[in-house]
């Protein structure tokens, strides 16, 4: 998208921003509208925390700071947790997929 | 990307997040590395302010709040200013294009 | 807090960051825990959109961009809406106060 | 500031938001205006990455997610690096102090 980012990092930025969008959009829409377990504070808080972590991780990669590696490792962890919780809850397929893809990409970037 | 966003709004979110990435990545990389007029405080500040405004505008659209219209109007204004300044400065083509595309998309969304 | 910000602008930054914290903390905690009307999607979405707008408005002031005036005007509007909705709903006093204070400070800054 | 946050966590949120403000405000103002080594890409990128990490760490604490501990650990690391670099560079006292205070608070919270 902008010329100085290498393709591997841009793919990770894309995965982070995709997961950010899915977690934020689904929690503030789908989950609150469904209610029940989908609207429990713990679930919404995890979705938001995952969304914000993905957003900040992409941001630090875009800045070009070598500190992105630590954030990528933490981002992989919270995305893995969010994918697991969403799979258990059900009716959250788009979020499970976005979190899994982001976790894998971030884990590679952190290595 | 996630099921509850209409296609027109998703296109505007995409344009905002693309402009956010380009303004942040180029200012923190390309512009600071070039130095000279590209690294003047006023230019970097405009690029950052444009980047943050695009990011927040996309965020409010993702939340699903009807307040996005006001932010889209302001986002169109700052993107237009940033595109004009970058065109005048030169060697900022990716930013000019991303800002122009975002301004047009936001202006339609604000209407 | 940092030396180059004038006292009036720093007071507005403080009001924005205070309102950001209150709207985010109460929506993700208090409101979701109370349930009922406090957890309706429209209410949570307004609280989040208000929180993000306050956060971005403070950010653009901190950057030092003259574009902050437009964001301050929009921030005053959404804070006023959020204060009114929270007052109507009840049991949201901290949010009503933070939104009112931020709206007044932003309106002065936008003038 | 809002009723459900314990005092220790609120103190850490305050330290993070103070460091966020100082790093962002000084990098986009003071450092770019001084020029020379203060405006080198590596320095500005570190200041921005530190600022964004502090901001996201505060955000996840405000949400109320137990995942804040991992972000606090990473925030302590980048603040320590930023404090060291700013001390070496000179004329960055406010940033050194804000980064040191944030690093200490985040290290306690991560424990």
pLDDT above 80 for D3: no
Six token digits for residue A20: 């950010």
In chain B, residues with a C-beta closer than 8 Å to the C-beta of D49 are none
Helix, strand, coil share of chain C (percent; to 5): 85, 0, 15
C2 or A34: whose pLDDT is higher? A34
Whether residue A103 is contained in a domain is answered as: yes
Grade residue A22 by pLDDT with cuts at 50, 70 and 90.
very high
Identify the CATH number of the domain in which residue C82 sits.
1.20.1270.360
CA angle B54, A110, A4 (to 5 degrees): 50
Please provide the average confidence, as pLDDT, over all residues in chain B: 95
User: Quick check: B6 pLDDT over 90?
Assistant: no
For C22-51, how does the pLDDT look when each residue is reduced to its tens digit (9 = 90+)? Answer: 999 999 999 999 999 999 999 999 999 999
Instruction: Point out the residue among D41, D53, D81 whose CB comes nearest to the CB of A56.
Output: D53
Domain membership of residue D1 (yes or no) is no
Tell me whether residue C53 is in a domain.
yes
pLDDT tens digits, A62-92: 999 999 999 999 999 999 999 999 999 999 9
The pLDDT-based confidence of D4 (bands split at 50, 70, 90) is low
What's the mean pLDDT when you consider all of chain D? 95
The strand ranges marked E within chain B are: none
Domain for residue A39, yes or no?
yes
User: D87 in a domain, yes or no?
Assistant: yes
D78–A59: do the CB atoms touch at under 8 Å?
Answer: no
pLDDT at position D6, please?
87
* pLDDT of res. D2: 46
Residue C2 lies in a domain: no
Q: What is the reported pLDDT for C4?
A: 58
Q: Residue count of chain C, please give it.
A: 111
The shortest C-alpha distance from A72 to chain D (Å) reads: 11
CB of C12 closer than 8 Å to CB of C29: no
Nearest to C95 by CA among C6, C13, C24, C3: C24
Q: How many domains does chain C contain in total?
A: 1
Q: How far is B21 from chain C (nearest CA, A)?
A: 16
How far is it, in rounded angstroms, from Cα C64 to Cα C68? Answer: 8
Interchain proximity B64–A1, CB inside 8 Å? no
**Among candidates B32, B40, B45 on the partner chain, residue whose Cβ is nearest the Cβ of D41:** B32
**CA closest to C42 among chain B residues:** B65
Cα dihedral sign, B3-B8-B9-B10: positive
Q: How many CB pairs under 8 A join C and D?
A: 70
Q: Is the pLDDT of residue D79 over 60?
A: yes
Q: What is the pLDDT of residue A4?
A: 58
Mean pLDDT of A32-61: 97
Percent of chain D with pLDDT over 70: 96
Task: Say whether pLDDT at B3 is over 90.
Answer: no
pLDDT-derived band of residue A5, with 50, 70 and 90 as boundaries? confident
Identity of the residue in A4, A17, A94 whose CB atom sits nearest the CB atom of B3: A94
The answer to whether position A1 is within a domain reads no
Residue D92's domain comprises 17-110
For residue A43 the two structure tokens come to 């679930």
**Is C12 inside any structural domain?**
no
Binding-site residues on chain C for chain D (CB distance < 8 A): 1-5, 13, 17-18, 21-22, 24-26, 28-30, 59, 62-64, 94-95, 98
Give B13's contacts in chain A (Cβ within 8 Å).
Answer: 21
């Amino acid at each position: 998208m902008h010329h100085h980012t290498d393709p591997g990092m841009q793919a990770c930025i894309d995965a982070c921003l995709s997961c950010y969008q899915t977690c934020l959009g689904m929690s503030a829409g789908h989950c609150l509208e469904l209610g029940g377990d989908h609207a429990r504070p713990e679930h919404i808080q995890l979705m938001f925390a995952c969304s914000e972590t993905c957003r900040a991780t992409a941001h630090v990669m875009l800045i070009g700071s070598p500190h992105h590696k630590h954030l990528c490792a933490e981002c992989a962890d919270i995305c893995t947790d969010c994918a697991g919780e969403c799979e258990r809850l059900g009716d959250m397929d788009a979020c499970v997929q976005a979190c899994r893809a982001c976790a894998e990409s971030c884990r590679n970037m952190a290595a």
